[in-house]
């Protein structure tokens, strides 16, 4: 299950940590967020190293679809209503600036990563979708985004009729590993160096201890339970991607598309390959997945050939705003970048701008927008309730069920995902392979009984 990006761009390997060292800034995690943060710090003359449990970009980043856009689904109307115009404006501007920042870095470093400016569209196939898209257009315009609504008849390159669409102009797409390969060149990264615990300025890895003035958690999902309590502020959701080629696949898509309906799909081109995304579900939930997505692909592109398929997951904060900035008031020298809700390309860039400014003691206009110390109860209340219920049910299943099927994070009952052959935690989204080896945070340890044979949940 290698993504198109992994097939096309092998990344060079780095050494692992040997023994104890110290550094001014230490980033945990070498995904898009961690590498961009390290890149910005280095550009500003700061000493920085990156500790990575696996390999460079081996987490969610290698399995993204890599749209670089401020169009994050239907968000702006709700965001203005729930969090106020100022915060929504800051969110929109930060993400628009992130697109520009990619363009600037790519130009300055002369990176050949298939970066192209291209419009992004939200679409609906339902009558009621028209109204929702028009309201979102008004909200986007109010926040300064170049947006316009168009009737469905103007969209010709999707394999079905849409009722309406909302275009954000001047968005972008690229090949993420080509980009990361180049910007990581001068950065000191230790691969196969998993952080097992962090105490104040000390980071304990499986290979040695690292002492740091500032510590940046860019490990996708923060694996510490206290402080921060991020596990009660977000859940994880999986999505699936198919790379299709052949008959009736458009030669080149002129836009990127994202459906706002419950069964909406994501489309982007990569040369003459079409990347079709969908099948999303909460991690540990038994629906969606490759099977769902393949059925849709067969319906719309019956003669296409699948040349790759992959999946990933992302953190979904209750109030739909990433957590970027100081980790906790109790640890002013720790920083966090998480909760990217499947829009981590621009969010990683925002994280790099905000966190590097904080460390270099510079003002940043977006610090307050993304601060993890915010409390937006109105914006996140419904999602908080859903997550609490999931957690209580998951914990009860874990503690009443067989011990060997418990998540090592908090003891929730694990669900077997037959399609991906993985054990998944529906509470916080940790994943393990069929042999019980940890795949995804926030758990830090393998399953207690390794080599438990995977069986379909009854």
Q: Find the binder of ligand FAD among 3, 60, 70, 234 (CB under 6 A).
A: 60
Query: CA–CA separation, 73 vs 132, rounded Å?
Result: 11
Q: Are 57 and 105 in contact (CB under 8 A)?
A: no
Q: Find the binder of ligand FAD among 14, 342, 367, 405 (CB under 6 A).
A: 342
In sequence order, what DSSP letters do the residues of 209-231 get, joined into one string? Answer: EEEEEEEEE-SSS----TTT-GG
Does position 3 interact with ligand FAD (CB under 6 A)? The reply is: no
Q: Find the binder of ligand FAD among 28, 79, 106, 265 (CB under 6 A).
A: 28
Query: CA–CA separation, 121 vs 140, rounded Å?
Result: 13
Q: Find the binder of ligand FAD among 17, 41, 48, 53 (CB under 6 A).
A: 53
Instruction: Report, in Å, the least distance between residue 343 CB and ligand FAD.
Output: 4
Does position 343 interact with ligand FAD (CB under 6 A)? The reply is: yes
Does position 96 interact with ligand FAD (CB under 6 A)? The reply is: no
104: helix, coil or strand?
Answer: helix
33 CB-near residues (< 8 Å, 6+ apart): 218, 220, 337, 340, 344, 347, 348, 351, 352
The length of the chain is 458
Burial letters 322-359, b for 16+ CB under 10 A, else e: bbbbbbbeebeebbbbbbbbbbbbbbbbbbbbbbbbbb
Burial class (CB in 10 A: 0-12, 13-18, 19+), 55: middle
Does position 27 interact with ligand FAD (CB under 6 A)? The reply is: no
User: Residue 70 or residue 163: which is nearer to ligand FAD going by CB?
Assistant: 70
User: Residue 70 or residue 326: which is nearer to ligand FAD going by CB?
Assistant: 70
Determine the interface stretch with ligand FAD among 128-136, 157-165, 212-220, 409-417 (rule: CB under 6 A).
212-220
Token pair for residue 218?
A: 């860019």
Binding mask 251-290 for ligand FAD (x = CB under 6 A): --------------------------x-------------
Please list every residue from 344 through 383 that binds ligand FAD, using CB under 6 A. 344-346, 348
Please list every residue from 182 through 201 that binds ligand FAD, using CB under 6 A. 194-195
Does position 71 interact with ligand FAD (CB under 6 A)? The reply is: no
Instruction: Report, in Å, the least distance between residue 277 CB and ligand FAD.
Output: 6
Does position 208 interact with ligand FAD (CB under 6 A)? The reply is: no
52 CB-near residues (< 8 Å, 6+ apart): 14, 29, 30, 34, 58, 189, 190, 191, 192, 193
Instruction: Report, in Å, the least distance between residue 458 CB and ligand FAD.
Output: 28
User: Residue 163 or residue 172: which is nearer to ligand FAD going by CB?
Assistant: 172
Using DSSP bridges, classify how beta strands 273-282 and 266-270 pair: parallel, antiparallel or unpaired: antiparallel
Determine the interface stretch with ligand FAD among 113-121, 149-157, 227-235, 337-345 (rule: CB under 6 A).
337-345
Instruction: Report, in Å, the least distance between residue 297 CB and ligand FAD.
Output: 15
Determine the interface stretch with ligand FAD among 96-104, 226-234, 343-351, 371-379 (rule: CB under 6 A).
343-351
437: how many CB neighbours lie within 10 A of its CB? 14
User: Residue 79 or residue 219: which is nearer to ligand FAD going by CB?
Assistant: 219
Query: CA–CA separation, 119 vs 67, rounded Å?
Result: 10
Q: Tell me the residue nearest to ligand FAD as measured from the CB.
A: 344
Query: CA–CA separation, 435 vs 437, rounded Å?
Result: 6
User: Residue 196 or residue 385: which is nearer to ligand FAD going by CB?
Assistant: 196
Q: Find the binder of ligand FAD among 74, 139, 219, 415 (CB under 6 A).
A: 219
Query: CA–CA separation, 437 vs 140, rounded Å?
Result: 44
Query: CA–CA separation, 80 vs 190, rounded Å?
Result: 42
Q: For ligand FAD, how many residues bind (rule: CB under 6 A)?
A: 40
Does position 241 interact with ligand FAD (CB under 6 A)? The reply is: yes
Does position 222 interact with ligand FAD (CB under 6 A)? The reply is: no
50 CB-near residues (< 8 Å, 6+ apart): 26, 27, 28, 29, 30, 34, 35, 38, 187, 188, 189, 190
Residues that bind ligand FAD (CB under 6 A): 28-34, 51-54, 58-61, 63-67, 194-195, 218-220, 223, 239, 241, 277, 312-314, 340, 342-346, 348, 441
């Amino acid at each position: 299950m290698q993504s198109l990006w992994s097939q096309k761009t092998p990344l060079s390997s780095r050494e692992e940590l040997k023994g104890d060292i110290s550094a001014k800034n230490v980033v945990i995690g070498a995904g898009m967020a961690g590498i961009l943060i390290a890149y910005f710090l280095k550009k500003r003359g700061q000493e920085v190293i990156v500790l990575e449990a696996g390999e460079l970009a081996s987490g969610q980043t290698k399995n993204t679809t890599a749209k670089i856009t401020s169009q994050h689904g239907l968000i702006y109307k709700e965001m203005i209503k729930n969090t106020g115009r100022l915060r929504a404006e800051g969110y929109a501007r930060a993400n628009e600036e992130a697109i520009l920042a990619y363009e600037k870095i790519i130009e300055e470093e002369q990176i050949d990563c298939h970066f192209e400016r291209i419009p992004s569209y939200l679409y609906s196939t339902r009558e009621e979708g028209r109204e929702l898209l028009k309201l979102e257009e008004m909200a986007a315009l109010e926040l300064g985004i170049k947006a316009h609504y168009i009737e469905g008849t103007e969209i010709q390159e999707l394999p079905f009729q849409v009722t309406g669409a909302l275009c954000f102009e001047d968005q972008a797409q690229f090949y993420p590993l080509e980009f990361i390969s180049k910007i990581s060149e001068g950065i000191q990264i230790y691969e196969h160096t998993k952080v097992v615990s962090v105490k104040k300025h000390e980071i304990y890895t499986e290979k040695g201890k690292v002492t740091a003035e500032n510590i940046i958690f860019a490990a996708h999902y923060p694996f510490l339970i206290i402080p921060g309590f991020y596990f009660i502020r977000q859940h994880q959701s999986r999505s699936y991607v198919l790379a299709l080629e052949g008959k009736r696949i458009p030669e080149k898509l002129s836009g990127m598309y994202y459906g706002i309906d419950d069964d909406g799909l994501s489309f982007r081109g990569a040369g003459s390959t079409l990347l079709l995304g969908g099948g999303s579900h909460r991690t540990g939930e038994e629906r969606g997945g490759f099977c769902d997505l393949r059925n849709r692909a067969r319906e719309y592109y019956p003669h296409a050939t699948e040349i790759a398929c992959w999946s990933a997951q992302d953190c979904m904060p209750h109030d739909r705003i990433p957590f970027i900035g100081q980790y906790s008031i109790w640890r002013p020298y720790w920083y966090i970048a998480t909760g990217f809700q499947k829009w981590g390309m621009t969010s990683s860039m925002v994280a790099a701008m905000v966190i590097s400014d904080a460390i270099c003691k510079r003002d940043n206009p977006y610090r307050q927008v993304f601060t993890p110390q915010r409390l937006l109860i109105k914006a996140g209340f419904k999602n908080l309730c859903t997550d609490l219920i999931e957690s209580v049910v998951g914990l009860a299943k874990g503690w009443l069920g067989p011990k060997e099927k418990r998540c090592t994070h908090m003891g929730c009952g694990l669900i077997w995902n037959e399609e991906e052959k993985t054990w998944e935690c529906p509470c916080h989204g940790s994943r393990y392979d069929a042999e019980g080896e940890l795949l995804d945070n926030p758990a830090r340890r393998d399953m207690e009984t390794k080599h438990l044979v995977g069986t379909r949940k009854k």
